Amino acid sequence: MNIDKDQVCDGTLDCEDGSDETESLCSETRFYCLNKRPLSVPMGDVENGIENCEDNSDECPTFTKKTGFVSSPHDLVDGDFLRAWLWILGIFSLVANSIVFGTTVYQLKSWHLEPLKKAFTFFIFNMSVSDLFMSMYLLGISIKGVQYSGRYCYHDVEWRCSIACSILGAFSIVSSTVSAMLLALMATFRLISVYNPIKMGSVKTITFVMPVVCIWILGLLLAFLPLVPLHSGYFVNSVWLPNYFFPRQEITKLELLGLVHHVPLFISNASTSQMNWFQSKNFILQSFPVIKIKGEYGYFGESSVCLPDLFLKVGSINAWEYSAFLLTLNFALFLYMFCSYMAIIKRSRRMKSENKKNKKMQTTVALLIFTNFCCVVPISIISYITLAGASYNPILYKISAGFLLPINSSVDPIIYSNEVVNATKKIYHHLRKTVTDMRSD
Protein backbone atom coordinates (compact mmCIF):
# COMPACT_ATOMS: atom_id res chain seq x y z
CA MET A 1 0.00 0.00 0.00
CA ASN A 2 1.39 3.39 -1.03
CA ILE A 3 0.78 6.48 1.10
CA ASP A 4 1.62 10.13 0.68
CA LYS A 5 4.81 11.48 2.26
CA ASP A 6 2.69 13.79 4.44
CA GLN A 7 1.07 10.75 6.05
CA VAL A 8 4.38 9.45 7.42
CA CYS A 9 4.91 10.27 11.12
CA ASP A 10 1.59 12.11 11.43
CA GLY A 11 0.38 10.10 14.41
CA THR A 12 -2.09 8.03 12.40
CA LEU A 13 -1.49 4.43 11.35
CA ASP A 14 -2.01 4.49 7.58
CA CYS A 15 -0.11 1.33 6.74
CA GLU A 16 -1.60 -1.95 7.85
CA ASP A 17 1.69 -3.04 9.40
CA GLY A 18 2.20 0.34 11.10
CA SER A 19 5.51 0.90 9.33
CA ASP A 20 4.70 4.58 8.71
CA GLU A 21 4.64 5.33 12.44
CA THR A 22 7.54 3.32 13.85
CA GLU A 23 9.57 4.87 16.68
CA SER A 24 12.85 4.40 14.85
CA LEU A 25 11.48 6.34 11.87
CA CYS A 26 9.67 9.16 13.70
CA SER A 27 11.67 9.63 16.90
CA GLU A 28 12.76 13.16 15.94
CA THR A 29 9.26 14.51 15.35
CA ARG A 30 7.02 12.28 17.50
CA PHE A 31 7.02 11.22 21.15
CA TYR A 32 5.71 7.72 21.81
CA CYS A 33 3.51 7.31 24.88
CA LEU A 34 4.53 4.49 27.19
CA ASN A 35 1.05 2.96 27.26
CA LYS A 36 0.53 3.67 23.51
CA ARG A 37 -2.70 5.58 24.20
CA PRO A 38 -2.43 7.48 21.94
CA LEU A 39 0.46 5.90 20.09
CA SER A 40 2.38 9.17 19.82
CA VAL A 41 2.09 12.93 20.13
CA PRO A 42 3.99 15.76 18.39
CA MET A 43 7.37 16.44 19.96
CA GLY A 44 6.25 20.05 20.49
CA ASP A 45 3.64 18.79 23.00
CA VAL A 46 6.28 17.18 25.22
CA GLU A 47 6.74 18.91 28.61
CA ASN A 48 4.28 21.68 27.78
CA GLY A 49 2.38 21.20 31.04
CA ILE A 50 -0.59 19.48 29.39
CA GLU A 51 -1.27 15.75 29.68
CA ASN A 52 -1.41 14.55 26.07
CA CYS A 53 -0.54 10.91 26.73
CA GLU A 54 -3.08 9.06 28.83
CA ASP A 55 -0.35 7.99 31.26
CA ASN A 56 1.20 11.49 31.37
CA SER A 57 4.48 10.09 30.04
CA ASP A 58 4.84 13.06 27.65
CA GLU A 59 5.36 15.28 30.70
CA CYS A 60 7.97 12.94 32.18
CA PRO A 61 10.10 11.68 29.26
CA THR A 62 13.30 9.76 29.96
CA PHE A 63 15.35 12.56 28.42
CA THR A 64 13.83 15.28 30.61
CA LYS A 65 16.13 17.81 32.26
CA LYS A 66 13.51 19.39 34.50
CA THR A 67 14.66 19.75 38.09
CA GLY A 68 13.35 21.59 41.12
CA PHE A 69 15.13 23.24 44.02
CA VAL A 70 15.66 19.86 45.68
CA SER A 71 14.00 17.29 43.41
CA SER A 72 14.94 15.51 40.21
CA PRO A 73 12.60 14.01 37.59
CA HIS A 74 12.96 10.67 39.35
CA ASP A 75 13.13 11.52 43.07
CA LEU A 76 11.40 13.90 45.45
CA VAL A 77 14.79 14.53 47.07
CA ASP A 78 17.68 14.34 44.64
CA GLY A 79 20.87 12.63 45.75
CA ASP A 80 21.44 9.45 47.77
CA PHE A 81 23.41 11.29 50.45
CA LEU A 82 20.75 13.93 51.06
CA ARG A 83 17.98 11.31 51.21
CA ALA A 84 19.98 9.25 53.72
CA TRP A 85 20.79 12.40 55.71
CA LEU A 86 17.11 13.33 56.05
CA TRP A 87 16.28 9.80 57.23
CA ILE A 88 19.10 9.88 59.80
CA LEU A 89 18.14 13.33 61.07
CA GLY A 90 14.45 12.43 61.23
CA ILE A 91 14.94 9.17 63.12
CA PHE A 92 17.56 10.59 65.50
CA SER A 93 15.43 13.67 66.20
CA LEU A 94 12.38 11.49 66.88
CA VAL A 95 14.23 9.18 69.26
CA ALA A 96 16.23 11.91 71.05
CA ASN A 97 13.29 14.25 71.55
CA SER A 98 11.04 11.39 72.64
CA ILE A 99 13.58 10.57 75.37
CA VAL A 100 13.68 14.21 76.48
CA PHE A 101 9.88 14.38 76.33
CA GLY A 102 9.46 11.31 78.53
CA THR A 103 12.08 12.30 81.11
CA THR A 104 10.86 15.89 81.46
CA VAL A 105 7.28 14.72 81.92
CA TYR A 106 8.50 12.41 84.70
CA GLN A 107 10.47 15.25 86.31
CA LEU A 108 7.57 17.69 86.12
CA LYS A 109 5.41 15.26 88.10
CA SER A 110 7.76 15.68 91.04
CA TRP A 111 6.58 18.08 93.75
CA HIS A 112 10.12 18.61 95.01
CA LEU A 113 11.49 20.60 92.08
CA GLU A 114 12.70 24.08 92.86
CA PRO A 115 10.59 26.76 91.09
CA LEU A 116 13.38 27.90 88.75
CA LYS A 117 14.45 24.36 87.89
CA LYS A 118 10.82 23.47 87.27
CA ALA A 119 10.56 26.43 84.89
CA PHE A 120 13.57 25.32 82.84
CA THR A 121 12.36 21.70 82.85
CA PHE A 122 9.05 22.96 81.49
CA PHE A 123 10.90 24.93 78.79
CA ILE A 124 12.90 21.86 77.77
CA PHE A 125 9.70 19.79 77.66
CA ASN A 126 8.15 22.27 75.23
CA MET A 127 11.38 22.43 73.24
CA SER A 128 11.22 18.67 72.73
CA VAL A 129 7.62 18.95 71.52
CA SER A 130 8.51 21.67 69.00
CA ASP A 131 11.48 19.63 67.76
CA LEU A 132 9.22 16.58 67.37
CA PHE A 133 7.31 18.60 64.77
CA MET A 134 10.54 18.83 62.77
CA SER A 135 11.14 15.10 63.07
CA MET A 136 7.61 14.44 61.76
CA TYR A 137 8.32 16.80 58.87
CA LEU A 138 11.62 15.07 58.01
CA LEU A 139 10.16 11.57 58.22
CA GLY A 140 7.05 12.61 56.27
CA ILE A 141 9.17 13.97 53.41
CA SER A 142 11.39 10.88 53.50
CA ILE A 143 8.43 8.48 53.40
CA LYS A 144 6.90 10.34 50.46
CA GLY A 145 10.29 10.21 48.76
CA VAL A 146 10.26 6.41 48.99
CA GLN A 147 6.66 6.29 47.74
CA TYR A 148 7.50 8.36 44.64
CA SER A 149 10.96 6.90 44.08
CA GLY A 150 11.83 6.58 40.40
CA ARG A 151 8.62 8.28 39.22
CA TYR A 152 8.44 11.61 41.09
CA CYS A 153 7.91 13.58 37.88
CA TYR A 154 4.49 11.91 37.51
CA HIS A 155 3.41 13.07 40.98
CA ASP A 156 5.10 16.47 41.29
CA VAL A 157 2.08 18.68 40.55
CA GLU A 158 -0.34 16.60 42.59
CA TRP A 159 2.07 16.46 45.55
CA ARG A 160 2.91 20.16 45.70
CA CYS A 161 -0.79 21.06 45.50
CA SER A 162 -1.79 18.58 48.23
CA ILE A 163 -2.90 19.42 51.75
CA ALA A 164 -0.42 16.83 53.08
CA CYS A 165 2.48 18.82 51.62
CA SER A 166 1.14 22.04 53.15
CA ILE A 167 0.72 20.45 56.58
CA LEU A 168 4.28 19.08 56.54
CA GLY A 169 5.54 22.52 55.55
CA ALA A 170 3.56 24.05 58.41
CA PHE A 171 5.18 21.53 60.80
CA SER A 172 8.63 22.82 59.82
CA ILE A 173 7.56 26.43 60.47
CA VAL A 174 6.01 25.49 63.83
CA SER A 175 9.22 23.77 64.89
CA SER A 176 11.65 26.51 63.85
CA THR A 177 9.51 29.43 65.06
CA VAL A 178 8.43 27.97 68.41
CA SER A 179 11.97 26.73 69.13
CA ALA A 180 13.43 30.17 68.40
CA MET A 181 10.93 31.90 70.69
CA LEU A 182 11.46 29.32 73.45
CA LEU A 183 15.23 29.84 73.24
CA ALA A 184 14.71 33.58 73.60
CA LEU A 185 12.41 33.00 76.60
CA MET A 186 14.96 30.70 78.25
CA ALA A 187 17.65 33.33 77.68
CA THR A 188 15.42 35.90 79.37
CA PHE A 189 14.86 33.71 82.44
CA ARG A 190 18.56 32.92 82.69
CA LEU A 191 19.44 36.57 82.36
CA ILE A 192 17.05 37.56 85.16
CA SER A 193 18.16 34.65 87.36
CA VAL A 194 21.81 35.73 87.07
CA TYR A 195 21.20 39.39 87.84
CA ASN A 196 18.36 38.87 90.35
CA PRO A 197 18.59 35.31 91.75
CA ILE A 198 16.47 36.06 94.84
CA LYS A 199 13.49 37.15 92.76
CA MET A 200 13.71 34.13 90.43
CA GLY A 201 14.15 31.74 93.36
CA SER A 202 10.41 31.92 94.07
CA VAL A 203 9.09 32.32 90.54
CA LYS A 204 5.41 31.40 90.21
CA THR A 205 4.18 28.74 87.80
CA ILE A 206 1.98 31.14 85.87
CA THR A 207 5.04 33.31 85.20
CA PHE A 208 6.61 30.70 82.92
CA VAL A 209 3.51 28.82 81.76
CA MET A 210 1.65 31.77 80.25
CA PRO A 211 4.55 32.97 78.02
CA VAL A 212 4.92 29.42 76.68
CA VAL A 213 1.19 29.21 75.93
CA CYS A 214 1.42 32.52 74.05
CA ILE A 215 4.46 31.24 72.12
CA TRP A 216 2.59 28.12 70.98
CA ILE A 217 -0.46 30.14 69.94
CA LEU A 218 1.69 32.55 67.93
CA GLY A 219 3.82 29.77 66.43
CA LEU A 220 0.80 27.70 65.32
CA LEU A 221 -0.89 30.82 63.95
CA LEU A 222 2.17 31.83 61.90
CA ALA A 223 2.65 28.29 60.58
CA PHE A 224 -0.93 27.43 59.64
CA LEU A 225 -2.10 30.88 58.49
CA PRO A 226 -0.90 30.13 54.90
CA LEU A 227 -3.32 27.17 54.84
CA VAL A 228 -6.33 29.43 55.48
CA PRO A 229 -8.22 30.12 52.21
CA LEU A 230 -8.16 33.92 52.30
CA HIS A 231 -10.47 35.80 49.94
CA SER A 232 -7.52 37.80 48.65
CA GLY A 233 -5.63 34.64 47.70
CA TYR A 234 -2.52 36.16 49.31
CA PHE A 235 -0.77 32.82 49.82
CA VAL A 236 -1.69 31.39 46.39
CA ASN A 237 1.04 31.60 43.76
CA SER A 238 -0.53 29.66 40.89
CA VAL A 239 -3.21 27.09 40.08
CA TRP A 240 -3.26 23.64 38.48
CA LEU A 241 -5.65 24.34 35.62
CA PRO A 242 -5.93 22.17 32.48
CA ASN A 243 -7.15 24.71 29.93
CA TYR A 244 -7.19 25.80 26.30
CA PHE A 245 -5.96 29.35 26.90
CA PHE A 246 -2.34 28.62 27.82
CA PRO A 247 0.08 25.92 26.56
CA ARG A 248 0.55 24.59 30.11
CA GLN A 249 -1.43 23.56 33.17
CA GLU A 250 0.29 25.69 35.82
CA ILE A 251 -1.22 29.17 35.57
CA THR A 252 -0.02 32.00 37.78
CA LYS A 253 -2.55 33.92 39.82
CA LEU A 254 -1.91 37.08 37.81
CA GLU A 255 -2.54 35.19 34.55
CA LEU A 256 -5.84 33.84 35.86
CA LEU A 257 -6.94 37.28 37.03
CA GLY A 258 -5.94 38.69 33.64
CA LEU A 259 -8.05 36.02 31.95
CA VAL A 260 -11.03 37.01 34.10
CA HIS A 261 -10.76 40.63 33.01
CA HIS A 262 -10.49 39.68 29.32
CA VAL A 263 -13.49 37.36 29.20
CA PRO A 264 -16.07 38.91 26.86
CA LEU A 265 -18.80 40.69 28.79
CA PHE A 266 -21.57 38.85 26.91
CA ILE A 267 -20.60 35.64 28.71
CA SER A 268 -21.64 37.07 32.05
CA ASN A 269 -23.30 40.21 33.34
CA ALA A 270 -21.03 40.27 36.39
CA SER A 271 -18.51 43.06 36.84
CA THR A 272 -14.97 41.65 37.04
CA SER A 273 -13.16 44.76 38.26
CA GLN A 274 -13.97 44.32 41.98
CA MET A 275 -13.77 40.53 42.19
CA ASN A 276 -11.65 38.91 44.88
CA TRP A 277 -9.74 35.67 44.38
CA PHE A 278 -12.63 33.35 45.24
CA GLN A 279 -15.03 35.24 42.99
CA SER A 280 -12.52 35.24 40.12
CA LYS A 281 -12.13 31.46 40.30
CA ASN A 282 -15.88 30.91 40.42
CA PHE A 283 -16.33 33.29 37.48
CA ILE A 284 -13.95 31.26 35.32
CA LEU A 285 -15.59 27.97 36.31
CA GLN A 286 -19.06 29.31 35.57
CA SER A 287 -18.03 30.91 32.28
CA PHE A 288 -16.20 27.78 31.07
CA PRO A 289 -17.89 24.69 32.56
CA VAL A 290 -15.41 22.33 30.87
CA ILE A 291 -12.55 23.87 32.89
CA LYS A 292 -11.83 22.62 36.38
CA ILE A 293 -9.21 23.92 38.80
CA LYS A 294 -7.54 20.75 40.10
CA GLY A 295 -5.41 22.37 42.78
CA GLU A 296 -3.56 25.43 44.01
CA TYR A 297 0.16 25.97 44.51
CA GLY A 298 0.12 27.61 47.90
CA TYR A 299 2.78 29.00 50.20
CA PHE A 300 4.36 25.58 50.78
CA GLY A 301 4.14 24.42 47.16
CA GLU A 302 7.30 26.11 45.92
CA SER A 303 9.45 22.98 46.17
CA SER A 304 9.11 19.21 46.51
CA VAL A 305 10.11 19.37 50.20
CA CYS A 306 7.17 21.68 50.94
CA LEU A 307 9.15 24.66 52.19
CA PRO A 308 8.48 28.25 51.13
CA ASP A 309 11.00 30.00 48.93
CA LEU A 310 13.72 30.82 51.46
CA PHE A 311 15.63 33.27 49.26
CA LEU A 312 13.20 35.87 48.05
CA LYS A 313 13.13 38.78 45.69
CA VAL A 314 10.74 41.68 46.08
CA GLY A 315 7.52 40.73 44.32
CA SER A 316 8.85 37.29 43.28
CA ILE A 317 5.87 35.54 44.90
CA ASN A 318 2.71 36.89 46.42
CA ALA A 319 3.67 36.16 50.02
CA TRP A 320 7.29 37.33 49.92
CA GLU A 321 6.57 39.85 52.68
CA TYR A 322 5.38 37.04 54.95
CA SER A 323 8.54 35.01 54.39
CA ALA A 324 10.66 38.10 54.97
CA PHE A 325 8.82 38.66 58.26
CA LEU A 326 9.45 35.08 59.46
CA LEU A 327 13.14 35.30 58.56
CA THR A 328 13.48 38.66 60.27
CA LEU A 329 11.70 37.35 63.37
CA ASN A 330 14.08 34.38 63.66
CA PHE A 331 17.12 36.57 63.02
CA ALA A 332 16.00 39.13 65.63
CA LEU A 333 15.42 36.36 68.18
CA PHE A 334 18.93 35.04 67.55
CA LEU A 335 20.45 38.50 68.05
CA TYR A 336 18.49 38.92 71.28
CA MET A 337 19.59 35.50 72.50
CA PHE A 338 23.21 36.22 71.58
CA CYS A 339 23.24 39.53 73.47
CA SER A 340 21.50 37.97 76.48
CA TYR A 341 23.98 35.13 76.81
CA MET A 342 26.92 37.48 76.38
CA ALA A 343 25.56 39.46 79.34
CA ILE A 344 25.06 36.22 81.29
CA ILE A 345 28.65 35.08 80.67
CA LYS A 346 30.01 38.51 81.59
CA ARG A 347 28.05 38.43 84.86
CA SER A 348 29.01 34.82 85.62
CA ARG A 349 32.73 35.52 85.32
CA ARG A 350 32.44 38.02 88.17
CA MET A 351 30.95 35.38 90.45
CA LYS A 352 33.59 33.51 92.43
CA SER A 353 31.31 30.70 93.61
CA GLU A 354 29.93 27.78 91.62
CA ASN A 355 32.80 27.93 89.11
CA LYS A 356 32.13 24.41 87.87
CA LYS A 357 28.49 25.22 87.25
CA ASN A 358 29.42 28.43 85.47
CA LYS A 359 31.88 26.65 83.18
CA LYS A 360 29.26 24.09 82.26
CA MET A 361 26.77 26.85 81.54
CA GLN A 362 29.31 28.68 79.38
CA THR A 363 29.95 25.51 77.37
CA THR A 364 26.22 25.06 76.85
CA VAL A 365 25.90 28.68 75.76
CA ALA A 366 28.79 28.37 73.33
CA LEU A 367 27.22 25.29 71.69
CA LEU A 368 23.85 27.00 71.61
CA ILE A 369 25.14 30.14 69.93
CA PHE A 370 27.28 28.16 67.48
CA THR A 371 24.48 25.85 66.30
CA ASN A 372 22.01 28.70 65.97
CA PHE A 373 24.57 30.83 64.18
CA CYS A 374 25.19 28.03 61.66
CA CYS A 375 21.46 27.50 61.08
CA VAL A 376 19.87 30.95 61.24
CA VAL A 377 22.47 33.51 60.21
CA PRO A 378 23.53 32.10 56.78
CA ILE A 379 19.92 31.73 55.62
CA SER A 380 19.02 35.23 56.86
CA ILE A 381 22.04 36.88 55.24
CA ILE A 382 21.47 35.20 51.86
CA SER A 383 17.77 36.10 52.04
CA TYR A 384 18.50 39.76 52.67
CA ILE A 385 21.02 39.78 49.81
CA THR A 386 18.47 38.27 47.39
CA LEU A 387 15.83 40.73 48.60
CA ALA A 388 18.22 43.44 47.47
CA GLY A 389 18.12 41.96 43.97
CA ALA A 390 21.10 39.58 43.88
CA SER A 391 20.84 36.11 42.36
CA TYR A 392 21.90 32.87 44.06
CA ASN A 393 23.00 29.37 43.18
CA PRO A 394 20.13 26.82 43.60
CA ILE A 395 22.51 24.58 45.55
CA LEU A 396 22.18 27.05 48.44
CA TYR A 397 18.47 26.20 48.73
CA LYS A 398 19.28 22.50 48.89
CA ILE A 399 21.90 23.08 51.61
CA SER A 400 19.54 25.30 53.60
CA ALA A 401 16.51 23.01 53.32
CA GLY A 402 18.37 19.74 53.78
CA PHE A 403 21.07 20.67 56.29
CA LEU A 404 20.71 24.02 58.04
CA LEU A 405 17.00 24.18 58.90
CA PRO A 406 16.52 20.69 60.40
CA ILE A 407 19.83 20.32 62.24
CA ASN A 408 18.72 22.17 65.38
CA SER A 409 15.95 19.65 66.07
CA SER A 410 18.62 16.96 66.47
CA VAL A 411 21.17 19.07 68.34
CA ASP A 412 18.82 20.75 70.84
CA PRO A 413 18.10 17.67 73.00
CA ILE A 414 21.84 17.00 73.33
CA ILE A 415 22.60 20.59 74.36
CA TYR A 416 19.71 21.12 76.76
CA SER A 417 19.32 17.73 78.36
CA ASN A 418 21.69 15.09 79.69
CA GLU A 419 19.07 12.41 79.19
CA VAL A 420 19.99 11.64 75.59
CA VAL A 421 23.68 11.33 76.46
CA ASN A 422 22.87 9.22 79.53
CA ALA A 423 20.56 6.95 77.53
CA THR A 424 23.24 6.53 74.86
CA LYS A 425 25.81 5.61 77.51
CA LYS A 426 23.45 3.05 79.06
CA ILE A 427 22.79 1.47 75.66
CA TYR A 428 26.51 1.42 74.88
CA HIS A 429 27.43 -0.21 78.23
CA HIS A 430 24.59 -2.71 77.89
CA LEU A 431 25.73 -3.72 74.39
CA ARG A 432 29.34 -3.89 75.52
CA LYS A 433 28.41 -6.12 78.48
CA THR A 434 26.31 -8.35 76.21
CA VAL A 435 29.18 -8.78 73.75
CA THR A 436 31.62 -9.51 76.58
CA ASP A 437 29.28 -12.14 78.07
CA MET A 438 28.86 -13.77 74.68
CA ARG A 439 32.63 -13.98 74.20
CA SER A 440 33.15 -15.44 77.68
CA ASP A 441 30.60 -18.15 76.98
pLDDT of residue 356: 58
HSE-CB at 192 with a 13 A cutoff on CA atoms is 16
Q: What is the 3-state secondary structure (H, E, C) of the chain?
A: CCCCHHHCCCCCCCCCCCHHHCHHHHCCCEEECCCCCCCEEEHHHCCCCCCCCCCCHHHCCCCCCCCCCCCCCCCCCCCHHHHHHHHHHHHHHHHHHHHHHHHHHHHHCCCCCCHHHHHHHHHHHHHHHHHHHHHHHHHHHHHHHHHCCCCHHHHHHHHHCCHHHHHHHHHHHHHHHHHHHHHHHHHHHHHHHHHCHHHHCCCCHHHHHHHHHHHHHHHHHHHHHHHCCCCCCCCCCEEECCCCCCCCCEEEHHHHHHHHHHCCHHHCCCCCCCCCHHHHHHHHHHHCCCCCCCEEECCCCCCCCCCCCCCCCCCCCCCHHHHHHHHHHHHHHHHHHHHHHHHHHHHHHHCCCCHHHHHHHHHHHHHHHHHHHHHHHHHHHHHHHHHCCCCCCCHHHHHHHHHHHHHHHHHHHHHHCCHHHHHHHHHHHHHHHHHHHHHHC
pLDDT of residue 163: 93
Per-run averaged pLDDT (10 residues), the chain, 441 residues: 72 76 81 84 79 81 76 88 91 88 83 78 89 94 93 87 93 92 88 79 84 96 92 87 78 83 58 75 82 87 85 70 88 89 78 56 67 78 80 75 77 69 64 70 60
pLDDT of residue 273: 64
pTM, full prediction: 0.84
pLDDT of residue 126: 93
Query: With 0-12 CB in 10 A as exposed, 13-18 as middle and 19+ as buried, what is 127?
Result: buried
pLDDT of residue 266: 44
Domains delineated in the chain: 5-59 (no CATH), 80-231+306-440 (1.20.1070.10), 238-297 (no CATH)
HSE-CB at 346 with a 13 A cutoff on CA atoms is 8
